[in-house]
Amino acid sequence: MRRMWRSEDPAATDFEVEQNILFNRYQYLSSGDSFRNGKCELLVDGGDRTEQVNCLEQQHIDAIDGGDYGATHFKDDGSAFWGEVLPENSLTRRLGDLLILLHKRYPDGHWDNFLQEDMSTPAWANIVFSGHSQGSGHVAYLAQTKNINGAVMISGPQDECTGCPEGTAFWIDELYASTSDTPYTALAQGQEPLFPVMEDNWKRMKATNPSINWITADPQSTDFGLMTTAHDAYASPLFTDVTYADTSTCGGKEHCSVAIDDSVPYIKKSDGETFYLYEASVWPSILKAGSGLTGKNKRGKIKKGKRSKGGKIGKSVKSGKKGKLR
């Protein structure tokens, strides 16, 4: 999928950047974030929280690189925390394989811009990652451990050291490998049960890494979502209080309402044509700002000397559910 973004800055009318956008699922870890947080708490040994903190990080490692941490740690009933992720099913391998295939099929499409010199590993520094729910936590972890081109976090991260004393640090509190010009954006529904956890994580990210682009880590309202700009999304995390769609079949309706097809607020014509509310300005704003395309801040470049012809890639890290981001 290719999308053309035009700057909203009137002084930059000639600014136009082409983005290649890929949607790709990793092997879904069979444990939602709140359940994962609870399972990790089972590893507390007396007052020692070390393994609980490690557990929060290991789920991301299993998803991104492959691993069996979840498959070798068990609840009291004997069930595994989450399933094993073979290396070939990891986010890294699936994305690399997809880029190799695209480069093979379309050799003039510049897909090799997004592969490292070994032509098998993703060139992290050239890719903007977005994710919803569990996927947003993986995006934040990628930004923390690799130098990525941009991070778009929807309804997350939801990692929480449940029951930990105030001030207990975990992976989100560590310094980030992504450079100071890597843009971050975030969006959530303000009534989500874990919204306070997300808000706390955004603030912790900013506190540890003051160079993150947000002027404030306090989330700002998008109101009805009709006038949100990329500058708004660049300046702070965003939240919406618009009610989920009456067609929602999702268990966490507020949580799903910012990304999942049947839960996103919409208007519909008598002929059946549907317009999803966040298409108007919210989704474009978080994606543009997360790609550094805020008009005056024209960061859309390929890092580390890679060819810039053909734009840069936006990679969606799915939460294991069908979503709609246009």
- Whole-number pLDDT of residue 32: 85
Nearest partner of 64 among 160, 8, 135, 166, judged by Cα: 135
Q: Are the beta carbons of 152 and 325 closer than 8 angstroms?
A: no
- Whole-number pLDDT of residue 326: 33
- Whole-number pLDDT of residue 311: 46
* Average pLDDT for the chain: 86
DSSP per-residue string spanning 257-301: TTTBGGGS-EEE-TTS-EEEGGGTTHHHHHHHHHTTBSSSSB---
227-268: pLDDT as tens digits: 999 999 999 999 999 999 999 999 999 999 999 999 999 999
- Whole-number pLDDT of residue 294: 76
265-312: pLDDT as tens digits: 999 999 999 999 999 999 999 999 999 987 544 444 444 444 333 445
204 residue type, one letter: R
Q: In 196-232, which positions are buried (b, 16+ CB within 10 angstroms) versus exposed (e)?
A: ebbbbbbbbbbeebeebbbeebebbebeebeebbbbb
Q: 324 pLDDT band (50/70/90 cuts)?
A: very low
**Is-above-0.75 flag for pTM?**
yes
* Structure tokens given for 160: 């929480």
Q: Are the beta carbons of 305 and 117 closer than 8 angstroms?
A: no
* Structure tokens given for 62: 């299993």
Q: Are the beta carbons of 294 and 288 closer than 8 angstroms?
A: yes
Using the predicted structure, report yes or no on whether residue 199 has a pLDDT greater than 90. yes
- Whole-number pLDDT of residue 164: 97
43-83: pLDDT as tens digits: 999 999 999 999 999 999 999 999 999 999 999 999 999 99
- Whole-number pLDDT of residue 26: 57
108-147: pLDDT as tens digits: 999 999 999 999 999 999 999 999 999 999 999 999 999 9
Question: 288 — phi, psi (to 5°)?
Answer: -65, -50
Using the predicted structure, report yes or no on whether residue 2 has a pLDDT greater than 70. no
Nearest partner of 143 among 75, 208, 72, 224, judged by Cα: 208
Cα–Cα distance between 246 and 244 in angstroms, integer? 7
10-26: pLDDT as tens digits: 343 333 445 566 666 65
Nearest partner of 199 among 179, 226, 172, 176, judged by Cα: 172
Using the predicted structure, report yes or no on whether residue 88 has a pLDDT greater than 60. yes
What residue has token string 């959530």?
A: 188
Q: In 314-323, which positions are buried (b, 16+ CB within 10 angstroms) versus exposed (e)?
A: bbbbbbbbeb
Cα–Cα distance between 138 and 129 in angstroms, integer? 9
Cα–Cα distance between 132 and 20 in angstroms, integer? 19
- Whole-angstrom CA distances from 302 to 2, 59, 109, 128, 151 are 17, 30, 15, 11, 15
Beta bridge partners of residue 2, listed in sequence order: 20
